[in-house]
């Protein structure tokens, strides 16, 4: 099939140009900090900025906490639905798809109006409470991906048999979840985790409207106030996203050798 191959190459190369050029442009712009000469000054300025370190650390910690809380909420739920309540599956899946339907800006608008100090759950009344609210907002954002990942992982296991075997040996629910189910879905969980990480690091709307010192608002602030550092930040951010996706691939490939086969 000669002709299709030619057109395939055309499409591929045009797409390659479209996707590659902005990355090249972003990298080149970030090298322009010193007038007339290429240098890594922009990167040096970024790393030397205490705000960068503070907001980046904040977002990393948020991401890790989000992942842990997300796993703790999603894994037992997915497990329970598979085991005892298959009829509830459509309902749970619908709920996990809601964050994709409702724009995050609407969700955070709801948080601000609902959980201020005059409400029964005054989360925005303190910095710590607002941090918790932000983290829960991130969990909501990552819910579709986490649930899908864990569910896919559970699909490859014979949950019924494993649970019965464990129970017959005297294991309680905690042991079953922690020592039998979780290790087997770890690969799937890790995929969801890396995706959550990428989402949280770059997230802007929720952090900005809750006034938390996260990396997203910091990047936007940099974009307006600095000339070449934003491009350096974009390169760093892209590197992180690429790293996360790469780790997902790695983990998936690695899992094919270690996962319990049915």
Residues in region 27-66 near other proteins by CB under 8 A: 28-30, 32-35
Judged by CB under 8 A, the stretch of 53-61, 155-163, 164-172, 246-254 that binds other proteins is 246-254
Q: How far is the CB of 83 from other proteins (least distance, A)?
A: 9
Q: Half-sphere exposure (CA, 13 Å, Cβ side) for 179?
A: 9
Question: Nearer Cβ to other proteins, position 98 or 165?
Answer: 98
Locate tokens 């790293």: which residue?
Answer: 243
Q: How far is the CB of 49 from other proteins (least distance, A)?
A: 12
Q: Are 209 and 105 in contact (CB under 8 A)?
A: yes
Could you say whether residue 92 binds other proteins (CB under 8 A)? yes
In the region spanning residues 218 to 237, those forming contacts with other proteins, defined by CB under 8 A, are 219-228, 230-231, 233-234, 237
Give the residue among 159, 161, 148, 137 at the shortest CA–CA distance from 92.
148
State the number of binding residues for other proteins (CB under 8 A).
103
Q: From residue 114, give the alpha-carbon distance in Å to each of 187, 207, 213.
A: 37, 17, 21
In the region spanning residues 158 to 177, those forming contacts with other proteins, defined by CB under 8 A, are none
In angstroms, rounded to a whole number, what is the distance separating the alpha carbons of residues 161 and 261? 14
Contacting other proteins (CB under 8 A), which of 241, 251, 255, 259?
241
Judged by CB under 8 A, the stretch of 59-67, 148-156, 160-168, 242-250 that binds other proteins is 242-250
Both structure tokens of 62? 């948020």
* Torsion angles phi and psi, residue 227, rounded to 5: -85, -55
């Amino acid at each position: 099939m000669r002709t299709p191959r030619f057109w395939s190459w055309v499409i591929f190369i045009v797409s390659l140009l479209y996707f590659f050029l902005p990355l090249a442009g972003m990298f080149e712009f970030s090298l322009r900090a010193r007038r007339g000469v290429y240098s890594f000054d922009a990167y040096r300025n970024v790393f030397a900025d205490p705000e960068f370190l503070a907001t980046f650390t904040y977002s990393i910690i948020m991401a890790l906490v989000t992942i842990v809380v997300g796993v703790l909420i999603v894994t037992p739920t997915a497990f329970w639905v598979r085991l005892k309540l298959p009829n509830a599956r459509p309902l749970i899946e619908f709920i996990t798809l809601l964050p994709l339907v409702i724009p995050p800006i609407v969700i955070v608008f709801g948080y601000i109006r609902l959980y201020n100090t005059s409400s029964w759950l005054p989360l925005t009344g303190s910095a710590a409470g607002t941090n918790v609210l932000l983290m829960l907002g991130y969990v909501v954002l990552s819910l579709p991906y986490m649930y899908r990942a864990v569910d896919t992982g559970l699909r490859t296991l014979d949950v019924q048999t494993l649970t019965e075997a464990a129970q017959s040996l005297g294991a309680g629910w905690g042991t079953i979840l922690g020592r039998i189910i979780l290790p087997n879905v770890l690969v799937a969980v890790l995929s969801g985790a890396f995706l959550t990480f990428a989402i949280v690091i770059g997230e802007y709307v929720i952090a900005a409207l809750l006034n938390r010192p996260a990396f997203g608002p910091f990047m936007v602030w940099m974009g307006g106030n600095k000339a070449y550092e934003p491009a350096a930040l974009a390169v760093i951010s892209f590197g992180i996203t690429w790293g996360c996706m790469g780790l997902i691939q790695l983990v998936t490939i690695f899992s094919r050798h270690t996962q319990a086969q049915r």
